[in-house]
């Protein structure tokens, strides 16, 4: 069997086991997928050595775990929506362990490694590794509510969630590994040359000339300097074609290419929400191509014409491309353009190495629907953005398919990575973008009817008072036992509204039992308020309790005088140990409807999972 055949078979045999282990280690599917891929790229780079070690799978596993943990470091424990309850319970129990305990447990239960080999792999003396294993097993079993004899079975059950993952072809990994090997060879040659240059200076005389054995004087050659690294190329022909757009996004007459350039002219804002000319670090990609598409037939009436745009950037390293991807994701997750509101966030687990999709509305004239998708494949980052008149835009599935087509054209390049296997979007929690990651941001807020100016949030501050509370509950987030207590108010300063107008969110964390009791106390006070407070009427608009989360929303109306009634919308939400209260005070002619406020309370709950753990109790 040749080396490529041997590697390809090894890849097919091992990849799902590594995916299962790294996913259980991090709870982060995209990071795990990318880490396993990177580990096999490194394995092909060193295949002559790897194929000769006693346990090649352990060699690759160690690299995959290290890559997965590094990719996951900046993220909180992953929370996927629509996750099987059994898998979710297993991940939740694993999240109770330290990283070392998790790795010790997983290597023991999901591999055939001996105790000695496991201890070596995790870098612990055997006795210490055994102690960590005992502690991890008992803690996991306790929180998973299974006997210790069933630990392996519940971990193996997670396999059903990862084995449907579509993998890049072995040839793509071998090509990336070969490129990596060539890069390292070039670096090694350059280092050797530098060493020789330094050594040469030690035998150069004071005039800067080198003595020869024959005593001749040879002048130094200044005609050539050090060679520049070769830039990563991005051919225009790898961009989407008009017929590709026409097949996926319907418009009368189809689409045509309107422009193709490198985005070096103008203000650099080629698509809605774009905040910098390029997504690359320091605004310096190796190469970039931006393309826009327009309908072949002119739009009738006053509606603005829809536009589809694709951007693509090449980075010199995968690490730089990862940063470009994060930047592009931030453009849409925290869009600051045109009174934009984030509607939904999706994960695209089968597109490239990592991909996300966002749907937004903008409320400037004319109102528009935005569907923006971002992906990375190897050293390339690409976005596909559809901008349409409100109500006329394509579905997220269509833009996801279009992004997948674009990724398939980039992944075949030498510096490409994973291709597209399944472009189906899956709803996920929003990307943390606020100064306090677990709180609402301007991009979450619906437009207030009656004004056409943007929301502006105040600086988050410690919640010494709680403007989100109603006179019915008076909830105090500065009470003993509540930590991470922060409040923030959103206003529309350009509209010059009365002082009482505004929307406030106050958050805090406390032990789960106390958090649940706090929410129950607020619910009880609101339920009794109509009877206790003369002139006050409380209407419960929504109440949902599911697992460790709760959401309740009320409308509170209070008669101030015979001619004036104050209305107040308030919601309280809980996710485990974190609680948030959201309150909105409208003024005459400027309000948020009840459905929009209830959706905002749900968004507050979606974000609440990013709050840190309580500091006490």
State residue 443's pLDDT score. Answer: 96
DSSP string of 275-310, one letter each residue: -SS-SSGGG--SEEEEEEEEESSPPPTTSPPPEEEE
| pLDDT of res. 79 | 56
Evaluate if residue 304 carries a pLDDT over 50. yes
295 forms bridges with which residues in the sheet?
255
At the top level of CATH, the class of 236-427 is alpha beta
Q: How far is Cα 39 from Cα 63, in angstroms, rounded to an integer?
A: 5
- The pLDDT assigned to 18 comes to 95
pLDDT at 468 over 60: yes
How far apart CA 241 and CA 406 sit, in angstroms, is: 9
Given pLDDT bands bounded at 50, 70 and 90, which one contains residue 167?
Answer: confident
Same fold, 236-427 and 442-608: yes
pLDDT tens digits, one per residue of 125-149: 888 889 999 989 999 998 888 898 9
Instruction: Please report the beta strands in 131-219, taking only residues with DSSP state E, as ranges in sequence order.
Output: 210-211, 217-218
Between 252 and 574, the higher pLDDT residue: 574
Judge whether residue 195 has pLDDT over 90.
no
d(CA 497, CA 493): 7
Whether the predicted pLDDT of 190 surpasses 90:
no
Instruction: pLDDT band for 188, please (50, 70, 90 cuts).
Output: very low
pLDDT one-digit tens code per residue, 362-397: 987 678 999 999 999 999 999 999 999 988 889 999
Mean pLDDT confidence for 551-579 = 90
What's the confidence (pLDDT) of residue 11? 92
- Please determine, for residue 193, whether its predicted confidence score (pLDDT) is greater than 60: no
Give the side-chain half-sphere CA count within 13 A for 56: 19
- The residues spanned by each domain of the chain are 3-162, 170-218, 236-427, 442-608
Q: How far apart are alpha carbons 299 and 370 in whole angstroms?
A: 18
Both tokens of 279, joined, read 């997504």
**What is the pLDDT, as a whole number, of residue 81?**
65
Residue whose entry in the numeric block shows the structure tokens 């491309």: 321
What pLDDT is recorded for position 349?
Answer: 85
Q: What percent of the chain has pLDDT over 90?
A: 54
pLDDT at 575: 92
Beta bridge partners of 558: 536, 566
* Minimum mean pLDDT range among 175-189, 398-412, 495-509: 175-189
Is residue 21 within 8 A of residue 60, CB to CB? The reply is no
pLDDT digits (tens, 9 = 90+) for 48-74: 888 888 889 999 999 899 888 876 654
Q: Which of 126-135, 223-232, 469-478 is the least confident region?
A: 223-232
| Cis peptide preceding 366, ω within 30 of 0 | yes
Kindly indicate the confidence band of residue 559, based on its pLDDT and cuts at 50, 70 and 90.
confident
Average pLDDT, the chain: 86
Other Cβ atoms closer than 10 A to 251:
20
> Is it the case that residue 189 has pLDDT exceeding 50?
no
Looking at residue 475, its pLDDT comes to 96
Q: What is the per-residue pLDDT across 71-119, written as a single tens digit (0 to 9) for each?
A: 665 444 455 666 788 898 899 899 889 889 999 999 999 998 888 889 8
Q: Region of 378 please: left (phi>0), alpha (psi -120 to 50) or beta.
A: left
Residues 322-375: tens digit of each pLDDT: 999 999 999 999 998 878 999 999 999 889 989 999 999 998 767 899 999 999
Most confident of 230-244, 259-273, 572-586: 572-586
Least confident of 189-198, 235-244, 604-613: 189-198
Topology (CATH level 3) of domain 442-608: Protein Transport Mog1p; Chain A (3.40.1000)
CATH topology of domain 3-162: Butyryl-CoA Dehydrogenase, subunit A; domain 3 (1.20.140)
20-42 pLDDT per residue, tens: 999 999 988 888 888 898 889 88
pLDDT of residue 251: 83
The string of DSSP letters for 26-76 reads: HS-HHHHHHHHHHHHHHHHHTHHHHTTSS-HHHHHHHHHHHHHHHHHTTSP
What's the pLDDT score for residue 179?
67
pLDDT number for residue 524: 96
Q: Per-residue confidence at 221, pLDDT binned at 50, 70, 90?
A: very low
Q: Measure the CA–CA gap between 515 and 326, rounded to whole angstroms.
A: 33
For the chain, what is the total number of helices (H) and then of strands (E)? 16, 20
Phi then psi for residue 218, to 5 deg, are -110, 120
Does 215 have pLDDT greater than 60?
Answer: no
CA 535 – CA 561 distance, rounded (Å): 9
Residues 513 and 581 sit within 8 Å (Cβ to Cβ): no
What radius of gyration, in Å, describes the C-alpha atoms of the chain? 29
């Amino acid at each position: 069997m040749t080396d490529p055949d041997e590697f390809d078979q090894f890849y097919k045999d091992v990849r799902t086991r590594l995916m299962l282990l790294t996913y259980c280690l991090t709870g982060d599917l995209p990071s795990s997928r990318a880490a396993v891929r990177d580990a096999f790229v490194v394995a092909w780079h060193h295949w002559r050595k790897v194929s000769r070690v006693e346990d090649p799978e352990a060699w690759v596993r160690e690299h995959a775990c290290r890559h997965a943990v590094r990719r996951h470091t900046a993220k909180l424990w992953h929370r996927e929506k629509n996750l099987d309850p059994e898998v979710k319970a297993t991940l939740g129990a694993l999240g109770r362990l330290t990283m070392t305990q998790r790795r010790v447990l997983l290597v023991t239960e999901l591999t055939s490694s001996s105790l000695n080999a496991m201890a070596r792999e995790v870098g612990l003396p055997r006795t210490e590794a055994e102690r960590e294993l005992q502690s991890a097993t008992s803690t996991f079993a306790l929180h998973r509510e299974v006997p210790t004899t069933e630990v392996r079975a519940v971990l193996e059950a997670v396999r059903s969630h990862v084995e449907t993952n579509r993998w890049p072809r072995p040839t793509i990994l071998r090509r990336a590994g070969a490129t990596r090997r060539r890069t390292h060879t070039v670096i090694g040659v350059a280092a050797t040359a530098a060493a020789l240059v330094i050594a040469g200076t030690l035998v150069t005389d004071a005039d800067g000339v080198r003595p020869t054995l024959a005593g001749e004087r040879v002048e130094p050659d200044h005609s050539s300097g050090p060679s520049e690294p070769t830039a990563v190329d991005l051919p225009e022909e790898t961009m989407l074609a008009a017929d590709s757009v026409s097949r996926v996004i319907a418009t009368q007459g189809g689409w045509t290419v309107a422009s193709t350039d490198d985005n070096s002219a103008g203000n650099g804002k080629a698509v809605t929400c774009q905040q910098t000319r390029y997504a690359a670090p320091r605004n310096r990609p190796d190469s970039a191509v931006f393309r826009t598409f327009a309908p072949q037939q002119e739009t009738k009436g006053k509606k603005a014409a829809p536009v589809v745009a694709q951007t693509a950037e090449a980075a010199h390293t995968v690490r730089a491309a990862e940063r470009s991807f994060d930047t592009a994701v931030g453009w849409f997750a925290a869009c600051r353009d045109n009174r934009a509101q984030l509607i939904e966030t999706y994960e695209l687990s089968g597109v490239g190495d990592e991909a996300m999709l966002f749907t937004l509305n903008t409320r400037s004239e004319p109102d528009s629907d935005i569907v923006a998708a971002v992906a990375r494949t190897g050293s390339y980052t690409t976005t596909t953005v559809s901008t349409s008149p409100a109500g006329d835009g394509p579905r997220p599935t269509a833009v996801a398919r279009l992004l997948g087509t674009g990724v398939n054209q980039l992944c075949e390049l030498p510096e490409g990575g994973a291709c597209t296997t399944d472009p189906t979007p899956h709803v996920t929690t929003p990307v943390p973008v606020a100064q306090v990651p677990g709180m609402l941001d301007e991009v979450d807020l619906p437009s207030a009817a009656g004004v056409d100016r943007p929301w502006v949030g105040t600086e988050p501050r410690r919640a010494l008072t709680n403007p989100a509370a109603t006179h019915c509950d008076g909830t105090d987030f500065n009470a003993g036992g509540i930590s991470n207590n922060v409040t923030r108010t959103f206003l529309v300063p350009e509209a010059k509204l009365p002082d009482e107008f505004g929307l406030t969110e106050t958050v805090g964390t406390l032990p789960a039992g106390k958090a649940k009791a706090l929410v129950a106390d607020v619910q009880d006070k609101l339920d009794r308020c109509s009877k206790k407070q003369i002139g006050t009427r409380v209407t419960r608009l929504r109440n949902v309790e599911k697992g460790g989360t709760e959401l309740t929303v009320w409308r509170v109306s209070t008669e101030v005088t015979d001619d004036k009634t104050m209305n107040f919308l308030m919601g309280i939400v809980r996710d485990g140990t974190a609680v948030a209260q959201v309150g909105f005070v409208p003024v005459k002619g400027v309000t948020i409807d009840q459905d929009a406020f209830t959706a905002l309370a749900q968004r507050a709950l979606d974000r609440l999972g990013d709050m840190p753990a309580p500091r006490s109790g």
